[in-house]
Structure 1
Amino acid sequence: MQRGSGRRTRLETRLNALSTPVFALDASRTILFFNQGCEQLLEWSAEEILGQTCDFAIDTDMEECESVCNLLCPPAEVFQGTRLEVPRFLLSRSGKTIPCLIRYTPLTDEQRKTKLVLGFIERIQNPQALPSASASQQLHAELAAMRLSLRNRFRFSTLIARSPGMQRVLRQLELAIRTTQPVHFQGEAGTGKEHLARAIHFESEQRRKIFIPLNCEKLPPRELKQTVKKIFERDYDESIPLEPGVLFLAEIQSLPRDVQEMILENLQAKAANVHVRLMTSSPIPLQNLLDQEAILSEFFYFITTMEIQVPALRERREDLELLAQHFLENENRYQQKQVSGFAPGVLSLFQDYYWPANLDELTRVIQGAFEATAEPVITRDALPLRFKTGVDARSLGPAVLAPLRTLEESLGLVEKEQILLALELSRNNRTEAARMLGLTRAKLYRRMEALHISLDET
């Protein structure tokens, strides 16, 4: 026993001394080995990494060891005994982006159950160009590249923005970070307006203050007014050590005019020591609200300092697959079950769908599919019934129009139908049928002859 133990110790020592990055984790995704090569590449010590559990999800916070652990996590197929070469973008502690290829080797017992997974890291030029990677693995690498790029360029690592519309939004967000002026978001329900407002707040100098979201449509007017008043008068629970930094008012088309006046009075008062930044959102253009007198003209001009148009999901198809992968990996966090991607054909269904509820609907579809699947990827069978019904409804196409007839033909058909109905109701009594139709018996005969109606038809 002692001799065998010594050999294992020597093997571990040799593996640990390798410059090739090697790591190992068990079936519960707990990291058990992290050699010197990994330490040098990722700039994290083994003592900090060992014992950490990783999830198949992308994080880009270089100051959290959870980020590096999650970027090392194997796809779910590996734990089912499949060897894989997976492209990845890793993140070092100093913030360097490292393109690499990770070779995962599952080690199984006599029942072919995976007990350990070995990972070997190789630096490469472009993970996204590897032909050996599956579509879902490429999407995972592309999502990592996107988030790391946004973190480096715009500081918004939680946003997905490849489409031109969202690139425009990112540039506006970057400007909004540098000021404390009001910001208004206009876009359909479910497009993520509050998330964008939070992104501005948590990247601004007011990040240590509280972000307060209020929905003007859902809150009763009296409660809404009292809440806004307390915020400006700082009449809130003193157990909260932080002061308000942003007041975010959603659905301002339902904001009472007296509350608008109160907000203006507090934010425009020169002597007032108020440092609350106002952000608002609505699904209706502000000019329409002004025309309808839903908002005061003074309030309109105050909140239009910066307007950001948020595109609907159907207007940002370039982002759709990355968003789906992003929401799926969010479901993996802190879960025993891990799902690595989507089966062939699923993402094409997403592209063909209209998404009337935008990002909110995509999130619900992903959540439902994650809960329903027992596979390492999301299949068509796991998709919620409501979504599949919506896809089928759109695939039916428009209703087929009735063939166009001449006016004379149409009138003849209606007349024939009415004569046959009168004969049926009168049991072929032509005198009674003529009376019901407001005709003489002779005229009824002439019309029946002209329309080729015989008593055999009735």
Structure 2
Amino acid sequence: MTRGTGRRTRLETRLNSLETPIFLVDASRTILFFNRGCENILEWSAEEILGQTCDYAIDTDADECESVCNLLCPPPEVFRGTRTEVPRYLLSHSGKTLPCVIRFSPLLDEQQQTKLVLGIIDRIEEPHTLPTASPSQQLHAELAALRLSLRNRFRFSTVIAKNDAMQRVLRQLELAIKTTQPVHFWGETGTGKEHLARVVHFESEQRRKIFIPLNCADLPPRELKQTVKKIFERDFEDSVPLEPGVIFLSQIESLTRDIQELILANYQSATHKDNVRLMTASSFSLTNLLDQELLLPDFFYLITTMELRIPPLRERREDLEVLAQHFLENENRYQQKQVSGFAPGVLSLFQDYFWPANLDELTMIIQAAFQATSEPLISRESLPLRLKTGIDARSLGPALSPTVKPLEETLRQVEAEQIMHALEISKNNRTDAARLLGLTRAKLYRRMDALNIRFDDELASRQNESKKV
């Protein structure tokens, strides 16, 4: 052994024996050193941690080695040579929450490139109020605190919610997990209805069974009926090793009456009642469909045994920033590139936007910005054009005030236009037009007579006008 090698060995032995938690991460984010102090505080052995790669993403599963490693990951700016103090909520193997600050120091080579990152862990009281942390680091710590709180209170942490309406949804989900009764989710497109259904399933006693999502609007009725029948009759090929636990029907408003009858017959059967759970989703409340006799009363009351209204993102403004951070950190997983947060001004732009496609749109915006940036923070320049144009459109001045007309004349004109538009969309199918307008067919006929609407003549006139244009 050379003299230098002996000194390195002795230094490593001394560092390893320290009670102060110290660890080392290389430029590829692989954990190379994890001393006894880290073992004591996190309750994981060095043999389990060394060689693992960490990502800049919050995890809350105390039983997963990956979760612990990710909580030790330095932010991307440290690999660019910036010394940083980062507030964190660490998790011990036994599930204890450890408020800490990690002091990251980049160790540079001869070319002034970060070769290693030294991390030193100190216990503190409230990480998300650490005054020396940057706004992006504070948001990172706030997200961690929220996810841990939701995990401890509701047993799940993938639903991000501070908003009162969403807290109510979480309480309802908690009840839904404890039963096998049908659950109906309704809310605008993109609000995360299927994700919530999956949360209920995978936290329930049926978690080992299959979750089967079916879109009632996308599948042809005949194919959908055959699929539903196979699910209830267990008519699967040998390649499917597990039995179905949940059938999730989205866009339930498109479900035909014969399939409703099939589901009713099978669900009311004692053989299948306790085995296949029914979950459904729609973009609006189903009461109008019941009034229009598009849903069988027995089917309506079956699927709405427990009904959850999911609020749109514009009603969850207090959740927007932590949701954006959550989706961003999901993009970091298993990627060489890592992004720690948002540059000043970006989150305020998010607050000014209307988010018509809700969480789905927020996810797509974050994904596009993640792909476009080469910096540790997402800047305004990396945001996709569709978000910028949407914000610009909302910043335009108000439209000129319309001329005031007699109220009765205006109401008749608006009503006639809506009826004509519905008839055009439905291709002169009065039943479909009545459903779009929220009316019964008989009431639609009465309104058409009162407004002197003769659709065939009006439609021909409109078509002739469009040809001239």
Cα distance in 1 between the residues matched to 2:101 and 2:401: 56
Cα distance in 2 between the residues matched to 1:396 and 1:96: 51
Cα distance in 1 between the residues matched to 2:48 and 2:179: 38
Instruction: Tell me by how many angstroms 1:111 deviates.
Output: 1.9
Cα distance in 2 between the residues matched to 1:298 and 1:290: 10
- Amino acid of the residue matched to residue 369 of structure 1? A
Deviations 1:229-277 (A, max 9, x none): 1001100122222100000000000011100100000000235576100
Instruction: Tell me by how many angstroms 1:402 deviates.
Output: 7.5
Cα distance in 1 between the residues matched to 2:234 and 2:202: 21
Query: Quick check: 1:55–1:332 contact (8 Å CA) kept in 2?
Result: yes
Which runs of at least 4 in structure 1 moved beyond 4 Å after TM superposition?
271-274
Cα distance in 1 between the residues matched to 2:3 and 2:272: 79
Question: Is 2:157 the partner of 1:157?
Answer: yes
Q: Which residue of 2 aligns with 1:191?
A: 191
Deviations 1:213-233 (A, max 9, x none): 000011111111110010011
Q: Secondary structure at the match of 1:125?
A: coil
Matches within 5 A, 1:226-375: 226-270=226-270, 275-375=275-375
Q: Which residue of 1 aligns with 2:182?
A: 182
Cα distance in 1 between the residues matched to 2:364 and 2:129: 32
Instruction: Tell me by how many angstroms 1:110 deviates.
Output: 2.1
Q: Which residue of 1 aligns with 2:126?
A: 126
Cα distance in 2 between the residues matched to 1:400 and 1:361: 31
Q: Cα–Cα, structure 1 residues 337 and 48, in superposed 2: closer, same or farther, change >3 Å? A: same
- Amino acid of the residue matched to residue 166 of structure 1? M
Q: Secondary structure at the match of 2:232?
A: helix
Query: Quick check: 1:266–1:274 contact (8 Å CA) kept in 2?
Result: no
Instruction: Tell me by how many angstroms 1:295 deviates.
Output: 1.2
Q: Secondary structure at the match of 2:270?
A: coil
Query: Quick check: 2:83–2:105 contact (8 Å CA) kept in 1?
Result: yes
Please identify the structure whose Cα radius of gyration is greater. 1
Q: Which residue of 1 aligns with 2:396?
A: 396
Deviations 1:152-196 (A, max 9, x none): 110111110111011000000000011100000010000000000
Query: Quick check: 1:26–1:32 contact (8 Å CA) kept in 2?
Result: yes
Alignment coverage as a number of residue pairs = 404
Instruction: Tell me by how many angstroms 1:401 deviates.
Output: 3.8
Q: Secondary structure at the match of 1:153?
A: helix
Cα distance in 2 between the residues matched to 1:9 and 1:278: 62
Question: Is 2:49 the partner of 1:54?
Answer: no
Task: Please report the RMSD computed on the Cα atoms of aligned residues, expressed in angstroms.
Answer: 1.2
Instruction: Tell me by how many angstroms 1:403 deviates.
Output: 9.2
Query: Quick check: 1:71–1:90 contact (8 Å CA) kept in 2?
Result: yes
Query: Quick check: 1:83–1:106 contact (8 Å CA) kept in 2?
Result: yes
Cα distance in 1 between the residues matched to 2:221 and 2:397: 44
Q: Which runs of 5+ in 2 are unaligned?
A: 405-469
- Amino acid of the residue matched to residue 180 of structure 2? T
Q: Secondary structure at the match of 2:281?
A: strand
Q: Secondary structure at the match of 1:56?
A: coil
Cα distance in 2 between the residues matched to 1:122 and 1:357: 42
Cα distance in 2 between the residues matched to 1:247 and 1:397: 48
Cα distance in 2 between the residues matched to 1:166 and 1:383: 27
- Amino acid of the residue matched to residue 299 of structure 1? F
Query: Quick check: 1:232–1:274 contact (8 Å CA) kept in 2?
Result: no
TM-score (norm 2): 0.85
TM-score (norm 1): 0.87
Q: Secondary structure at the match of 1:361?
A: helix
Cα distance in 2 between the residues matched to 1:284 and 1:124: 47
Cα distance in 2 between the residues matched to 1:292 and 1:176: 29
